[in-house]
Amino acid sequence: MRLSQSFFPTLKEIPSDAQIPSHQLMMRAGLMRPLAAGIYSFLPLGFRVLQKIMNIIREEMNAIGGQEFHLPALNPIELWEETGRVKAFGDILFQIKNRPLVLAPTHEEIICHIAKNHIKSYKELPQIWYQIQTKFRNEPRPRSGVLRGRQFTMKDAYSLDYTWEGLDKSYALHEEAYKKIFTRCGLKFFIVGASSGAMGGSGSQEFLLESAEGGEDSAVVCDNCGYAANLEVAVSNAPRVERLPESKKREQLFTPNIKTIKQLSEFLRVETTRLAKSLVYNVAGKPTLILMCGTDQLNEAKLMRELGGEFRAYSDEELFDLTGADAGSIGPIGLKNFQIIADKRLEQSNELISGANKNDFHIAHIDLERDISVSKYADLRIVETGELCTHCGKELRIINAIELGHIFKLGTKYADAMHATVLNEEGKELPIIMGSYGIGVERIAACHIEQNHDVNGIIWDKALAPFLVHLISVNAENENVIVASNKLYEQLTSEKIEVIFDDRVGVSPGFKFKDADLLGMPLQLIVGDRNLKQGNVEIKIRKTGERTILPVEKAYDFIAKF
């Protein structure tokens, strides 16, 4: 492809709204242009990268028996209502105003609908179906370029089985395929246990890339043993609150204008671990008090799993009506018709202080075993940096990370809701057991740039590079340079080596070199009058900056070997 005849609108300046390297460079290198918030047009160079990524995905999905579909982005809303996901997705789901339709953010319902109508026997299973298609999510705050957009390309795959062992096998096949896809795309990634969120199901894993600047997720990692988990599900060896030898008689304390754990700790001159923080939620219409230790923060994803469903916080007025106090003075003593769940750090603990359910008062010397009927102890807290790993005892780190892909064991959630069943060997009707597996195509491109760039521009891996060779005609007005450059271009093109040829006239060599580094092709083949007089050309390896001067006739062999 000749630059003089192509559309590659590079930018000298960094766009003001681009905060992370991938967003900045995808704009500056002319890979894409914004159309509206969270919506981008991919230009020829950028689309070539997406095609490379999609080809790798297809090859690895086909290798595990995947069959490619193309499903409609417009879905009847009643299918989503069957599974309860209109409510689960909330405002993220785009709905069509004048028709009962939604723009699909994913396609579990449609896959289940097809399976329900066409798969009747266990003999037709297992199946792996996938597509690479545009998705829509009404992100409230689109940011970081393509990492958080409202329209994007996703590879979504679905496995259909009739046994749980079959689901495990399908899940493992996808996990290995994902490892191969991201490795082939030149990414350094890690895998974490994760929350299933609105997707539902029994388990999931995320494929993440560490990124201090672009990370939208938080993950907990142990550099010693390799443990890694999304912050929503991560666990640590945070010590339990010690049970003291003596449990004193409860005592009411006057604590005027105390609203926070820190204020209470300073006012009473006690350690925060002796303070029990109370949070109140409506769980299926029943008031539930969650008891946390000191300054520990409640992990709502963990709480949702423990409760087996959704919950909501009470308003200030509702709180006062239920407990007789405002937030900050609420505690577990004397509450009626409440379910009480406590974090595991508080199990068997005593000599605690919590709210008295009366404004400006707290109760001291609470013994959870003596004074309170706790329904359940569970791990409900958010892990903090420096806590110890449950596997090896070393310190944990909390990092920012970008999600590349997510795989889910959906189980029978969708089949139960939509009545999708098959007959087993005995003729018994069983729900189809599903898995769901997603990869963000644009995210792979952005993450590759996050990990492979320098101050001058992008550094493409050979697998994803739009072109392998950037041929630069330094003196495009010089007849010898023109002839030699065109000859090399024709030779490389005829041998199916992807080459972009900067044949522009009237553009300075310095500008061409800057563009070449910005665009980041793996090899730069430089044809200039000075070297050409000696029968030579120069080749620069973009990643290392290494330069080699060699005879013109050996240039092709060097490139072919590379």
Domain boundaries, the chain: 37-234+397-449, 251-378, 469-561
**Mean predicted confidence (pLDDT) in 314-341:** 93
Q: Which pLDDT tens digit goes with each residue over 379-424?
A: 999 999 999 999 999 999 999 999 999 999 999 999 999 999 999 9
CATH number of 37-234+397-449: 3.30.930.10
Q: Are 177 and 438 in contact (CB under 8 A)?
A: no
What is the DSSP secondary-structure string of 285-315?
Answer: TEEEEEEEETTPPB-HHHHHHHHTS--EEPP
d(CA 227, CA 217): 17
pLDDT computed for residue 532 by the predictor: 94
pLDDT computed for residue 147 by the predictor: 93
CATH-assigned architecture of domain 469-561: 3-Layer(aba) Sandwich (3.40)
pLDDT computed for residue 196 by the predictor: 53
Q: Which pLDDT tens digit goes with each residue over 249-268?
A: 999 999 999 989 999 999 99
Strand spans (E) along 106-216: 127-136, 151-161, 190-193, 203-210
- State residue 387 phi and psi, 5-degree precision: -70, 165
d(CA 203, CA 305): 11
- In this predicted structure, the answer to whether residue 458 has a pLDDT above a threshold of 50 is yes
Q: Is 195 exposed, middle or buried (0-12, 13-18, 19+ CB in 10 A)?
A: buried
Band (pLDDT 50/70/90 cuts) for residue 233 is: confident
Comparing CA positions, the residue from 272, 72, 303 lying closest to residue 313 is 303
Task: Please say whether the dihedral angle defined by the alpha carbons of residues 78, 79, 81 and 86, taken in this order, is positive or negative.
Answer: negative
Band (pLDDT 50/70/90 cuts) for residue 198 is: very low
| Range name among 15-19, 235-239, 510-514 with the lowest pLDDT average | 15-19
Give the Å distances, CA to CA, from 221 to 198, 207, 386. 24, 13, 11
Comparing CA positions, the residue from 519, 381, 536 lying closest to residue 449 is 519
Q: Which pLDDT tens digit goes with each residue over 100-117?
A: 999 999 999 999 999 999
**Mean predicted confidence (pLDDT) in 61-81:** 97
Task: Please say whether the dihedral angle defined by the alpha carbons of residues 318, 324, 328 and 333, taken in this order, is positive or negative.
Answer: negative
Class of domain 251-378: alpha beta
